[in-house]
Amino acid sequence: MSDRPVPSGRVVITGVGAVTPLGTGVAKFWPRLLAGESAVERITLLDPSEYTTQIAAEVKDFVAEDWLDKKEARRIDRFIAFAVAAAAMAMQDSEIKVDDDLRNEFGVMIGSGIGGLTYLGEQHRRQIEGGPSKVSPFLVPYMIPDMASGYVSILNGLKGPNTCVVTACSTGANAIGDAYHIIKRGDAICMLAGGTEAPINELGLGGFCAARAMTTRNDDPAHASRPFDKDRDGFVIGEGSAVFVLEDYDHAIARGAKIYGEVIGYGMTGDAYHITQPDPNADGAYRAVKMALRTAGKSPEDIGYVNAHGTSTYYNDKGETMAIKRAFGDHAYNVPVSSTKSMIGHTLGAAGAIEALICLLAMRDSKLPPTINYETPDPECDLDYIPNVARDKEVNISMSNSYGFGGHNVSLILKKV
């Protein structure tokens, strides 16, 4: 469009929304995270007794009917409902008014690593029991990962770029980074961006159990997720969503918007190594950090906090530590690092977005969340992981790392404004 404003080249976050295992909404979630509470319990969304892992971090307080028409709330997959709620919270928080002109310049990029796996499982069961005529005509639209973006776009009447990222556990971070580029180059003025996931179902749990990627510490759920601890034995699966309003800086200033922070750096690389195991040399993770620093125009010493991917698996935690040490040099031992997956589990495609939100809140409140269950130091993981208790510290620039099956590596750098 010829009358599109010239982009400022700066992209800020002016609204946030979250659905997490520690609460729906930032006001519920954030204090519990800082308090070091664990959301990991025995699974209630299905009978887990036949599975090797029987614990997860479920969202317990979410009511889909609070955000959707009752008929739709009962019908759509949980991952879509989470995204609808998080997006609604972000829009309300931003206090942005969407008129007909802005509507065409306001896009949506909400990713999901898995999509509608619960709905897929239910419809497969219906086909097995009753034949193909019993399969819902909504199977395909409610299963495909892009329907979170599509549904949010429809509900909010947003007609700008409407797309989806699917990069496993890097999805939420990639969505934010890609939306940042869309605004920066002038293809939109605003974007709703983030990740959503609802993988706690028979297929999801069965698949991850078969892969032997999850902890089997079923008798002690609250202490099961223990990133960087020597006795870690696998990740805890979680669910949830986080969505942001990303906005051109000049547009945000002109309307007097509250600004949580600015996206200033984005690095993404590939391992080209293995479908699930990270590169043992952590080369891809290291290069993602370096790329993020380069695009931000910052040095390692500028980073005041790192929210680690920190899955509580042997290879991930060791590799991420290697990458930080290689990229940051001596500063690696000075920068606080924490894995909030110790409290809310691994929310897969939503993780990068939820953890970027944590970085924003940490900078806003000068409070860094802990890595709980850190009891036995691992000589191969020897950084400052903010063990067990939150820390007061003023931070102006933070980094969030995300890694995914398939060799995806993402680092985001966020700045306090």
- % the chain with pLDDT above 70: 99
Range 300-325 burial, b when 16+ CB lie within 10 A, else e: bebbbbbbbbbbbbeebbbbbbbbbb
- The rounded distance, in Å, linking the Cα atoms of 258 and 68 is 27
pLDDT in tens, 237-259: 999 999 999 999 999 999 999 99
Angle at 354 between CA 118 and CA 54, to 5 degrees: 45
pLDDT in tens, 112-141: 999 999 999 999 999 999 999 999 999 999
1: confidence class by pLDDT, cuts 50, 70, 90: very low
Predicted local confidence at residue 69, as pLDDT: 94
- pLDDT over 70 (residue 2): no
- pLDDT over 50 (residue 199): yes
Q: What is the mean pLDDT of residues 290-317?
A: 98
DSSP state at residue 370: -
Query: Could you say which of 190, 209, 346, 381 is catalytic?
Result: 346
- Asked about 190 being catalytic, the answer comes back as no
Q: Which of 404, 215, 228 minimizes the C-alpha distance to 318?
A: 228
Residue 213: which region, alpha, beta or left (left: phi > 0; alpha: psi -120 to 50)?
alpha
- Asked about 309 being catalytic, the answer comes back as yes
Task: Identify the structural domains of the chain with CATH numbers, from first to last.
Answer: 11-254 (3.40.47.10), 265-407 (3.40.47.10)
5: confidence class by pLDDT, cuts 50, 70, 90: confident
Q: What is the mean pLDDT of residues 153-175?
A: 98
* Ordered alpha helix ranges (H), 297-373: 314-328, 341-344, 351-365
Query: Could you say which of 309, 359, 381, 408 is catalytic?
Result: 309
pLDDT in tens, 380-392: 999 999 999 999 9
Q: Is the pTM of this model over 0.95?
A: yes
- Asked about 359 being catalytic, the answer comes back as no
Average pLDDT of the residues of the chain: 97
Q: Are 240 and 62 in contact (CB under 8 A)?
A: no
